[in-house]
Structure 1
């Protein structure tokens, strides 16, 4: 395939709005950008599939760890075929291969027909993985593995996880089971209780139950849960930590409250002082940036094997085209645990 530059590329760009109450679909608009000849280290990818993640929703609100860039294409991860490369030996190796990849900060995102990214942000994928699985390989499964591995490194025999019906939460439960680590999952919807029990959670607690705090405290002490994997932040962090044994650690990897509430994070100072509680953060982008290429490759191989073995799987609610995407985006914003919305821009 010979690429003629500049190349017209259609996708969804960020349309910044001050009103935080507006739906996600009002914060994007379909645009066509021109792709110039690749710079050294870059590859051009024809996008096959790209999911919507909670991090995308937070970015649309202008509250993510990366500053919002009005007019830039949105979307953090995807799968696709490398159709051109200007990245030395690795770029030549990637050309023609199907890859999972993430957007490069400062360049356009990946909710588009084509994407340009750095070659080292691309991971060749096994043939057993579907395009949808490959598209969701990086953000959620890699986060699940890193979180559980960190909990194991902290000596955890059991962990608490909130927002447990998410794709990360389900991955944490399945992977923790493999390692013999018990999981206490908390959810807001009663419909998710049976779902997570089937996934393999040791305990599933409904946060709206009248005896929630007592049940959580009893479960934490019975199973000796010493690590909280926290995707919610805000008041949930100190509330759960207050129910855990002394010396527990909260690993905060998300702030789902930021998709609808600007409060952000909170923690109990008294717990840090008197109960030896600890709070640390995790962001996959920072982990990958600091890790050696060999460590990233090992992580990728581990995650892909877990997919191939059926330990990980991505629940997909809908595959949609450009025409259907805005409506599907708003649906996902209100129903994150029902499954991924996958954009197929060339479908």
Structure 2
């Protein structure tokens, strides 16, 4: 099969398509013929040599995919049959023509969605769902500050926060991104390049601050995050795009707010946790992608590239201009 490959860590120019052995499904696994796979920040980090796959995971890039069931491994007892359309959360391997996955991690594709739209759901939406509900314990009436509000996770979190009865606020780096976030349901958006988002957040919340922060930035935002966190608020850290180094009185400021700093990563979680997450998401959230009405959920796609243009896709993601997901189409 054809798969995205790189021989050594480095820039996008190191990426190319390579013919590799097609995997075979093991006990309880399904072989998925991949139609589309979305790009994630983790792919860029892995390409740069900064984020190794978890033990036992494929070295091939790609944390989510959509396609059709091609083969069932021994002991597959579930509802899946050869030919069924499905989308899947992966620890790696999605940017190839075939990938194996535990059957319990497959999700049905909601009616009316294309394969490219479906490929944009698993990693981003399951991440946003877990951050809000399992980690952040969002409640109706809460205010939620979502950094990188126009990212895949950000655009999902806005919609899921609204569905939970919370008020989503976002940060982003352009007016265009803020406008799209507000169309998706953000109550307000702050351009971090032009204003202090913590002051703007405090003004919007009339001084109370936000109950929950979803933060993929880290180091460079710590002081502003604590500044606009409400008393007893939860600050959930799930990325370090702004660096890992903290300089200053983080603990005293957090202690004064009685704030909780919680960290979360999805990719290294064990199979049992991911099964639970996929089951809850499939039951509680997935039907809303097909339901007409104001609560309908929508994956946001920025660009679709043929997988042969993998270098261009990585270069584009590195510009930080995308709104929503960048998707790769695999040859059929």
Shorter-chain TM range is: 0.7 to 0.9
- Once the two structures are superposed, residues 177-214 of structure 1 have per-residue CA deviations (whole angstroms, 9 ceiling, x without a partner) of 22221122111222222222222211211212245442
For residue 228 of structure 1, report the CA deviation from its aligned partner. 0.7
1:161 aligned to which of 134, 141, 146: 146
* TM, length-normalised to structure 1: 0.82
Tell me if 1:88 matches 2:75: yes
Q: 1:74 aligns with which of 56, 61, 66?
A: 61
Q: Which runs of 5+ in 2 are unaligned?
A: none
Aligned pair in 2 of structure 1 residues 117, 308: CA closer, same or farther (>3 Å)? same
What TM-score do you get using the length of structure 2 for normalisation?
A: 0.86
Q: Could you report, residue by residue, the CA deviation over 1:24-43 in whole angstroms, capped at 9, with x for unpaired residues?
A: x2342321111354432332
2:118 to 125, 134, 140: 134
**Residues 180 and 78 of structure 1, relative CA distance in 2, 3 Å threshold:** same
Worse overlay, 76-85 or 186-195:
186-195
Contact 1:220 1:244 in 2 (8 A): no
User: Following the alignment from structure 1 to structure 2, what is the Cα–Cα distance between the partners of residues 314 and 299?
Assistant: 14
Tell me the SS of whatever aligns to 1:296: helix
Residue in structure 1 matched with residue 26 of structure 2 by the alignment:
39
| 1:284 aligned to which of 245, 266, 285 | 266
- Correspondence for 1:102: 89
Aligned partners of 2:62 and 2:330: how far apart in 1?
12
In 2: Cα distance, 1:313 partner to 1:332 partner: 21
Shift of 1:99: 1.1
- Does residue 173 of structure 2 align to residue 188 of structure 1? yes
Report the CA distance between 1:79 and its aligned residue.
Answer: 0.6
SS of the residue corresponding to residue 231 of structure 2 reads coil
Do residues 50 (structure 1) and 30 (structure 2) align? no
Given that 2:117 and 2:301 are in contact with CA atoms closer than 8 Å, whether structure 1 keeps it comes out as no
Structure 1 pair 284–94 and aligned structure 2 pair: CA distance change class (3 A): farther
3-state SS of paired residue (1:256): coil
Which deviations, in whole Å up to 9, do the C-alpha atoms of 1:127-161 show, x marking residues without a partner? 33221122122111122222232444567611111
> Which range moves more in the overlay, 201-210 or 34-43?
34-43
* 2:222 is the counterpart of 1:237: yes
Contact 2:88 2:105 in 1 (8 A): yes
Q: Is the alpha carbon distance of 1:147 and 1:39 closer, same or farther for their aligned partners in structure 2, counting shifts above 3 Å?
A: closer
Cα shift readout 1:67-106 (whole Å, capped 9, x = no counterpart):
699993211110111111213243673322111123356x
Q: Distance in 1 between matches of 2:184 and 2:66?
A: 26
Cα shift at 1:290: 4.2
1:153–1:318 distance in 2 versus 1, CA, 3 Å:
closer
**1:307/1:70 CA distance change after superposition, 3 Å:** closer
**Aligned partner (choices 227, 232, 235) of residue 212 of structure 2:** 227
Q: How does 1:245-324 map to 2 (within 5 A)?
A: 245-257=230-242, 263-264=243-244, 266=246, 268-285=250-267, 289-291=271-273, 293=275, 296-309=278-291, 311-324=296-309
Kindly indicate whether residue 202 of structure 2 is the aligned counterpart of residue 217 of structure 1: yes
The alpha-carbon distance between structure 1 residues 317 and 202, as it changes in their structure 2 partners (threshold 3 A), is closer
> Unpaired segments of 5 or more residues in structure 1?
1-8, 258-262
1:293 CA drift (Å): 4.4
Decide whether aligned partners of structure 1 residues 163 and 333 sit closer, same or farther in structure 2, where only a CA change above 3 A counts: same
C-alpha contact (below 8 Å) 1:157/1:224 kept by paired residues: no
Secondary structure of the structure 2 residue equivalent to 1:247: strand
Residues 193 and 339 of structure 1: CA distance in aligned 2, closer, same or farther (over 3 Å): closer
CA contact 2:107–2:278 (8 Å) conserved in 1: no
What is the aligned counterpart of 2:16 among 29, 32, 49? 29
Quote the offset at 1:280 in angstroms.
Answer: 0.5
Name the counterpart of 2:329. Answer: 344
